[in-house]
Amino acid sequence: MTRLPLRDSLMRDAEASGALALGDLPEWDLTDLYPSPDAPELSRDLERLEKACASFAADYEGKLAGLTPAEMLDCIRRYEEIDLIAGRIMSYAGLRYYQNTTDAARAKTLGDLQAKITDMTTPLVFFSLEFNRIPEDVYQATFGAKDGPARYKPVFDRMRAMRPYQLSDELEKFLHDNSVVGAAAWNRLFDETTASLTFDVDGEELGLEATLNLLTDHDRSRREAGAKALAKVFGDNVKLFSRIHNTLAKEKAIEDKWRKMPTPQTARHLSNHVEPEVVQALRDAVVAAYPRLSHRYYRLKARWLGLDKLQVWDRNAPLPQENPRLVGWDEARQTVLDAYAGFDPELAELAQPFFEKGWIDAGVKPGKSPGAFAHPTVTDAHPYVLLNYLGKPRDVMTLAHELGHGVHQRLAAGQGELLSSTPLTLAETASVFGEMLTFRALLAKTTDPAQRKALLAGKVEDMINTVVRQIAFYDFECRLHAARAEGELTPDDINAIWMSVQHESLGDAFEFMPGYESFWTYVPHFVHSPFYVYAYAFGDGLVNALYAAYEAQPEGFQAKYFDMLRAGGSKHHSELLAPFGLDAADPAFWDKGLSMIEGFIDELEAMEA
């Protein structure tokens, strides 16, 4: 899953210290997908895909309701094979593009393949539409039969949840065909724009990634210079970003209206297989906790930094006693693998190939996509992890996070292409758990009080970024879409919404510099995955509760944990949490998770006494 570039590393630091200090940073070997963009294997798969789509439509269109259970199983397996071929092609094209989004040839390859696959798969649009018209008694009988597709039922239960919002076949095909010049085109414009932005910091020209990471520099003047450079460039481009958000929000509103979606968030909740009331309980619990979490912590941090008020460039500042150091790649690798092995050797064994087989692209390079993610590709291949690693201690946590995703994706692959994909609410579980394991291992080895304080404070800040900040982002999106429903939004309108949630979530410890109002512009999730961000808070709260269960009763926990990861998308979150005695529908569940963050802040306050 994609991760916000909140804590990525600073190119300038690595250059100053010498790139050799990091060691050999791995690059992707994409040949497990295809040898090259002009490889005959890729051409053959395109031909296979076109034939498979055409024959699937010819064999099944208009006939789904009359299929026997065995015939339905065969139909679904053929559909799954089409998904595999298309997924492999687009994974390859997408990963090559993310390695260098400013390379015109890579962008063209991605765009051309996207268009071809959209055309090829248009005949398949009938499938979900017709499937959802199968009478309920026929559906239950077909999927309940011994020789039928019973194991696939969770996938199709989720598909049938869309029945009330389904359009006519003609409109669905139009939306499918139009997608490449709709949201997908605006997404590409956003990606290419952000990748090409440059920032003048004291006469030095930096990209977005490096400039954002100045915000974690030990030198306060460098942090300030970075923040002001970001503000200037974001402000200069705010009209373009405003146009992108206006267009995408309106496009979504139009589609939601036609589908009769009750809220802009409904589609996300359906795709996540999570009830709106569960998300609301999470949101309300976090917002209610702002004063005792972020507000309290940032007042504490202002005292540590000797400031009456924090500026935005102090939010992610290191503590004064925190020793700046570069963590080499080999050390980062060993730290994470040891932490994983301390939980269970199998976890480390699952992570090992990422380092040895070209499954990680770690270095910062011109044009490379910012941030970090783990892409599952397809279940008959393996995941790939993208990092922008330049040696800051918190980059080790990012490595632990993305490897958690990768391990989860490897384990879930056994479910097959249709059932392996985990709903976003649970997709962050293994990643955040991997971070927690790494943090706890580092904390256990830290005896120096100043370093322990720095480590604890860093974890609290990461948790605030994951929980408080992401719920604030979710509120920002909710308010933006509600305001867009009333008419076109000016940049000032969007800026005002952004600042309202920043004041609420960060509290009175902050003084907000002029220009901070446009910092919404660079957040990719608002563009690529509307309302995605609550999944981070969901995942963090869930992991905090899971880790508490692990500490309380470690016996047998590992087996239950691996079973949960192997389940992929084959079970609802309530089924997956039941073996641990947890229930996300209980409002008190979220308070348990938030209490772990509160406990860390209590410990930090006690150090002041």
Q: What is the mean pLDDT of the chain?
A: 91
More confident position, 406 or 428 = 406
Summarised one tens digit per residue, pLDDT across range 577-588 is 999 988 888 878
pLDDT higher than 70, residue 322 = no
Whose tokens are 């539409």? That residue is 129
Report the pLDDT value the prediction gives residue 390, as an integer from 0 to 100.
85
- Position 120 scores a pLDDT of 96
Contact between residue 189 and residue 244 where contact means Cβ atoms under 8 Å apart: yes
Q: What is the mean pLDDT of residues 378-399?
A: 93
- 10, pLDDT greater than 70: no
The answer, yes or no, to whether residue 425 has pLDDT greater than 90, is: no
Q: What is the pLDDT of residue 250?
A: 96
- Average pLDDT on 429-438 reads 93
Which pLDDT score is estimated for 482?
97
CATH number at residue 54: 1.20.140
DSSP 8-state symbol, 191: H
- Domain containing residue 124: 33-161
* Three-state secondary structure call for residue 557: helix
Q: For residue 17, what pLDDT is reported?
A: 43
Residue 225 CB contacts under 8 Å (≥ 6 apart), including other chains: 201, 202, 214
Considering its fold, how many domains does the chain have in total?
A: 1
Query: Does residue 8 surpass a pLDDT of 60?
Result: no
Mean pLDDT of 62-80: 97
Looking at residue 234, the DSSP 8-state letter turns out to be: H
The distance in angstroms from the start CA to the end CA of the chain is 41
pLDDT grade for 18, boundaries at 50, 70 and 90: very low
Within a domain: residue 146?
yes
Is 131 within the bounds of a domain?
Answer: yes
Instruction: Confirm whether 419 is domain-assigned.
Output: no
- 198 inside domain: no
DSSP string, 89-157: HHHHHHHHHHH-TT-HHHHHHHHHHHHHHHHHHGGGHHHHHHHTTS-HHHHHHHHHSTTS-GGGHHHHH
216-256 pLDDT tens trace: 998 999 999 999 999 999 999 999 999 999 999 999 999 99
Mean pLDDT of the 389-396 span:
87
Task: Give the pLDDT of residue 152.
Answer: 96
Residue 11's pLDDT is: 36
In the block, residue with structure tokens 């669905």: 172
Is it the case that residue 213 has pLDDT exceeding 50?
Answer: yes
- Number of helices and strands in the chain (H, E): 28, 8
Question: Coil, helix or strand for 581?
Answer: coil
Q: Are 370 and 101 in contact (CB under 8 A)?
A: no
Cβ neighbours of 40 (radius 10 Å): 10
Residue 442 lies in a domain: no
Residues 444-502 pLDDT 10s: 888 888 888 888 998 999 899 989 999 999 999 999 999 999 999 999 999 999 999 99
Establish if 148 belongs to a structural domain. yes
pLDDT at 20: 57
DSSP letter (8 states) at residue 67? -
Identify the pLDDT of residue 19.
Answer: 54
Mean pLDDT value across residues 169-190: 85
pTM of the model: 0.80
Percent of the chain at pLDDT exceeding 70? 96
CB 49 within 8 A of CB 120: yes
Mean pLDDT on 133-155: 95
336 found inside a domain: no
Higher pLDDT, 319 or 310: 310
Mean pLDDT in residue range 567-573: 90
Q: What is the pLDDT of residue 15?
A: 42
CA neighbor of 423 nearest in space, from 338, 535, 345, 580: 535
Confidence at residue 9, expressed as pLDDT on a 0 to 100 scale? 33
Label each residue of 450-507 as H, E or C.
HHHHHHHHHHHHHHHHHCHHHHHHHHHHHHHHHHHCCCCCCHHHHHHHHHHHHHHHHC
User: Distance between CA 423 and CA 433 in Å, rounded?
Assistant: 17
Asked if residue 220 is part of any domain, the answer here is no
How many angstroms separate the CA atoms of 303 and 297, rounded? Answer: 10
